[in-house]
Structure 1
Amino acid sequence: MVETASAAPATQQQSDNKDQWSSQKYDKHASFVPALGAPVLRLLDPKPHERILDLGAGDGVLTVELQKQCQSVVAVDASADMISAAQQIGCKDARVVDGHDLVDDQELASGQFDAVFSNAALHWMKRDPQRVVEGVYKCLKPSGRFVAECGGYMNCSEVRTGLHAALKKRGHNPEDYDPWFFPGTKTYTRMLEQQGFRVDSIELIPRLTPLNTDIKGWIETFGFTFMKPFEGDEETQREIREEVQNNLKFSQDDGVWSIMYVRLRFKATKI
């Protein structure tokens, strides 16, 4: 789910927002997200006997892979549209659950999981990231592990800066519409240790990422919250997408558009 979820960019929007995620747009513009999930899956190293929670599972592409390697997987995501897509491709247990609400879920947050896995989703859980970490902790067994990759410090900064400039130009405060939390290693280490995790590994990984389509398609798929001041004004929304893309002309090489992703990848153990 920028990039969401264990297959999908982080499709964990704030619970008071209507579901604006589209599994069809995601498949068209961002199928690279689950395709690039192999390194964090290797870090997870799932075992046949394990029960795993896939947090921010998106359209379920990586969840289905996990199901082949462990005893059972519960996939959760804040987007009903994404969960529906996950169920359609074979996710056996897929539920609409916002990551912020894990801590209060009596069934999930009962210390029953060997691992919590998340790919390209945590950066969408901006409302209270520490609460998300607390929920993960409560879901894990003693010595259970939390393995994830999400957007990190400086992730997609060229597009994010362009969107901020476009909103400021039109008289709006972009901070009110920016949905992302992109922490550095020190920030997230502190959050994990504060909750009681031991951080086994954590790093920022720059990764130039070719897009399926172009910058405009990426913004349409992931930058939709920046368009809230212009709901019903399709012309202005189109104008902003084109403006940001035109200002990033050097992000295209031989017809292929790319964005500089910076991923935060970590493994932590409940102690």
Structure 2
Amino acid sequence: MATTPATTWDPNLYDSNHSFVWKMGSGLVELLAPKTGERILDLGCGTGHLTAQIAESGASVLGLDSSSEMIGQARAANPGIRFDVADARTFAVEKPFDAVFSNAVLHWVKPPEQAVARIHAALRPGGRLVVEFGGRGNTRRMVAALLQQAHALGHPDYAIPWYYPSIAEYSQLLEQQGLEVLRAELYDRPTPLEGEEGLRKWFTMFCGSLLDRLTSSQRQQCLAALETELRPTLYRDGVWFADYRRLRLVAVRTN
């Protein structure tokens, strides 16, 4: 999940309240179609749920994540799989892989060119890249409400930590690095959050870059205001939804 070291992650909160991250990534594993004997890199593996699913195919998998807490939990749950702490912008591999897989990660990585360069270097010629992450318009309502609260609480300089590109923008980055895009799709995926406090827990998990600036009382004020602002559009039949829009790409290294 994490690929750059600036964000602090709580693996227990991640596993207990954000299982949608890997559960909704199972279809991406099917698109990857891992085979016995292949060497596959899971970039931003989080606590290792999808890494383990890939390994069930008989492929040899390496999971990388910048969060030592996430990697610690992944290692404890999957002792037969190798997991290492690494930054998506600077990682290096000993031997090129047959495939690089990444779910719900690359929107955290800025500048994106650095991650794309490392992905290219990690693939053998003809190796494939299968990724999905937040695309143009992802969490549009949630972002607008968050920026409004940041300004109201005296942080007008706050900028969101995510990078949400269009199909054309990210495809161009890949092709400039020698990766041929075979498939690209941008689609809406409203995602149910877990429990009555699902929205609060989403912001707590993923928006520490703002919430950590606030006092305890300001934090509670912010979370309550976010619920009030977003309830009319993102709360339906007793369930909170994140207004996700995902970018899915498949590419191959051509040189």
Pairing partner for 1:165 from 123, 145, 148: 148
Whichever residue aligns with residue 108 of structure 2, its letter is W
For 2:53 and 2:65, how far apart are their aligned partners in 1? 17
Whichever residue aligns with residue 229 of structure 1, its letter is R
Pairing partner for 1:268 from 226, 234, 251: 251
Query: 1:156-183: per-residue Cα shift (whole Å, max 9, x none)?
Result: 111111111101112323544x110111
For 1:12 and 1:241, how far apart are their aligned partners in 2? 26
Pairing partner for 1:203 from 170, 185, 193: 185
Q: Report the equivalent of 1:85.
A: 73
For 1:27 and 1:267, how far apart are their aligned partners in 2? 27
Q: Secondary structure at the match of 1:62?
A: helix
Q: Report the equivalent of 1:227.
A: 211
Within the alignment, does 1:26 sit opposite 2:10 as a pair? Answer: no
Q: Report the equivalent of 2:118.
A: 135
Q: Report the equivalent of 2:218.
A: 236
Whichever residue aligns with residue 63 of structure 1, its letter is T
Given the two structures, how large is their TM-score scaled by the length of structure 2? 0.94
Q: Report the equivalent of 1:124.
A: 108
Gaps of 5+ in 1: 2-10
Distance 1:133 1:228, change over 3 A: same
Within the alignment, does 1:12 sit opposite 2:3 as a pair? Answer: yes
Shift of 1:70: 3.3
For 2:3 and 2:224, how far apart are their aligned partners in 1? 26
Pairing partner for 1:97 from 81, 86, 91: 86
Q: Report the equivalent of 2:170.
A: 188
Gaps of 5+ in 2: none
Query: 1:208-262: per-residue Cα shift (whole Å, max 9, x none)?
Result: 11101321111011111122332xx111111111111111112111211111110
Whichever residue aligns with residue 98 of structure 1, its letter is D
For 2:106 and 2:156, how far apart are their aligned partners in 1? 24
Q: Report the equivalent of 2:230.
A: 248
CA contact under 8 A between 1:149 and 1:263: conserved in structure 2?
yes
Number of equivalences:
250
Q: Report the equivalent of 1:8.
A: none
Q: Which runs of 4+ in 1 moved over 2 A?
A: 173-176
Query: 1:59-83: per-residue Cα shift (whole Å, max 9, x none)?
Result: 1000011111133100000111111
Whichever residue aligns with residue 113 of structure 2, its letter is Q
For 2:180 and 2:101, how far apart are their aligned partners in 1? 16
Query: 1:4-28: per-residue Cα shift (whole Å, max 9, x none)?
Result: xxxxxxx123x3x3x5100111122
For 1:255 and 1:179, how far apart are their aligned partners in 2? 29
Shift of 1:151: 0.6
For 1:84 and 1:60, how far apart are their aligned partners in 2? 10
CA contact under 8 A between 2:158 and 2:210: conserved in structure 1?
no
Aligned identity (percent) is 34
